[in-house]
Amino acid sequence: MEDEQIEKLKTFWNKFGGLITTLAVVLAIAVVGFRVYKDNQRKEAVLASQLFSEILTTSQTLNQQRNALQLQSMTADEENKENTQAIEAVSKLEKTLVQLSNQMKENHSKSIYDEYTVLLHVRALVDQGDIEDAALKLEALAGASKHSFIRDLTRQRLAKLYIQLKEYDKAIGVLQSPFSEAFAAQSNEILGDAYVLKGEADQAVISYSKVVEMLGEDSQQSQFAIWKMNDIKNKSLYLSDVVGSDGVLTDLEDSEASASDAVTMDTLSIDVEKQDNDAVESSPSQNKQAAQTE
């Protein structure tokens, strides 16, 4: 009986032994390859993170140097030695920042830190008053990013820039697409701001109401949205006040002026740097796990 079983096993092995061995080798190679791949991913993420940290530090130093140079320029002669040295320092930092950014693009183009670098560049453009170029970069990033967090953040900031450019329809179009829960409330508030400035106060009230529904009346952001709704109602800034009988805006400039009277630009959520949480600086540490998994 035992001899028969042994004979059967020999027959089976002679028939399938080669295939089983091949499959075992392939599986072992696949496991090892996957581990190497994941290890390389982790190493690349660490290198990208370190490079971004260097980019961020250089950018912050550059901003400080620019501010100092601006103060010196107000009080010192352009030929002043200290002023000349400050200009040279700023120029050197600018070149360094460009080199580091190019290095990020060349070596870590698929990393989330490359997208953080783009956001950092956009903020620099905004600081310099180059709103149109900043908007173009955000448009490209919003369409290319594979990370939901970056897409939502980018679309939100893009809408704010459209508002600054008075391209309210574009801002509304960007904000009407669904956002993740973390961005939904603020996106609705910005959407309400765009409607106000466009002269569609009825729609603005609807958007502000959604903020309150999402966060509850006790939250600070909801209180701000309620204040905006009350301000609109108190000043009677409804669509019937700025639209003619034919349903067309009587005068776009007048509508914008009325909207600005009711809710001033200072109260709108369009300040890219002050009212927006600085996700470029905080997100790398807060979303480290997301960067590795995505």
pLDDT of res. 206? 95
276 C-beta neighbours (distance < 10 Å), count: 18
Which of residues 292 and 162 earns the better pLDDT score? 162
Q: Is the Cβ–Cβ distance between 122 and 157 less than 8 Å?
A: yes
Please give the pLDDT value at position 277. Answer: 41
Domain count, the chain: 1
Query: Domain residues for 87?
Result: 18-107
Q: Which amino acid is at 212?
A: V
Q: pLDDT per residue over 220-272, tens digit each?
A: 999 999 999 998 888 754 444 443 333 333 333 343 444 444 343 334 443 43
Structure tokens given for 228 = 């905006």
SS3 assignment, position 243: strand
Q: Is residue 126 part of a domain?
A: no
Residue pair 280/119 in contact (Cβ under 8 Å)? The answer is yes
Q: pLDDT band at 75, cuts 50/70/90?
A: low
Asked, for residue 99, whether it belongs to a domain, the answer is: yes
- Which pLDDT value is given to residue 254? 41
pLDDT value for 66: 82
Q: Which residue is associated with the tokens 């001033």?
A: 264
Per-residue pLDDT, 74: 66
Burial bucket for residue 115 (CB in 10 Å: 0-12, 13-18, 19+): buried
Residues 6 or more apart whose CB falls under 8 angstroms from that of 281 comprise: 56
Q: Is residue 38 part of a domain?
A: yes
Output the average pLDDT for the chain. Answer: 78
Residue 47 lies in a domain: yes
**Which H or E run includes 44?**
helix 2-75
Distance CA 255, CA 198 (A): 7
Q: Does some domain include residue 163? A: no
Task: Please give the helix or strand (H or E) that residue 172 lies within, else none.
Answer: helix 168-176
Of 233, 110, 162, whose CA–CA distance to 154 is shortest? 162
Q: What is the pLDDT at residue 79? A: 54
Span of 76-90, 176-190, 242-256 with lowest mean pLDDT: 242-256
Whether 134 contacts 150, CB under 8 Å: no
CA pair distance 276, 287, nearest whole angstrom? 17
Q: What is the pLDDT of residue 151?
A: 94
pLDDT tier at 80, thresholds 50, 70, 90: low
In angstroms, the CA 140 to CA 218 distance is 37
On whether residue 247 sits in a domain, the answer given is no
Query: Would residue 175 count as lying in a domain?
Result: no
Residue 133 neighbours by CB under 8 Å, 6+ apart: 125
Q: Which tokens hold the place of 93?
A: 């930092």
221 torsion bin: left (phi>0), alpha (psi -120 to 50), beta (else): alpha
Mean pLDDT on 101-120: 91
Separation CA 144–CA 138 (nearest Å): 10
Domain membership flag for residue 86: yes
pLDDT of residue 224: 92
* Confidence class for position 152, pLDDT limits 50, 70, 90: very high
What CA–CA distance (Å, rounded) separates 136 from 292? 28
Give the Cβ contact number of residue 76 at 10 Å. Answer: 15
Name residue, tokens 């106000």. Answer: 196
**Residues 64-84, mean pLDDT to the nearest whole number:** 70
